[in-house]
Amino acid sequence: MTQWDPTLVTRAYALALKSFEEGGCPIGSVLVRGPEILGEGHNQRVQKGDPIAHGEMDAIRNAGRQKSYRDTTLYTSLSPCMMCAGTIVQLKIPRVVIAENTTFGGNEDFLRAHGVEVTVVNDARCIALMRRFIAERPELWNEDIAEE
């Protein structure tokens, strides 16, 4: 853990809460270089009608083009799906901090197999928010993870 991890996990949670309050999936993400936020975002599949507007993708998109991502860290409120994990590997983002993976076991093994340092912090706020979302909006959650 770095000295910035708790603050940036809190920011990812705040972005997830923003998405939830907008009627979307509560997933927030922040891309940083050291303590500098390059881009942040949240899942906007519902809000924008865009099936690939996941939180991690939104943060990376908002960071804009970077000459290199090899010195960045991506913080996410939920374990990344395969699409987002693939983007992390493609861009060679070396470190991912996952606020929680109890409600959705993403692709940590895939990331690690591709040399990404993965830290899972099991943030109680993120777990509670995702559990609430799944309980209140199961059809939207199933759509998000491509389940019927």
147 is catalytic: no
Q: Which of 56, 100, 108, 148 is catalytic?
A: 56
- CA–CA distances in Å: residue 80 to residues 3, 28, 67: 23, 11, 23
- Evaluate whether 18 touches 28 at the Cβ level (below 8 Å): yes
Distance CA 52, CA 32 (A): 21
Q: Which pair of structure tokens corresponds to residue 32? A: 């940083």
Distance CA 122, CA 105 (A): 12
| Residues with catalytic function | 56
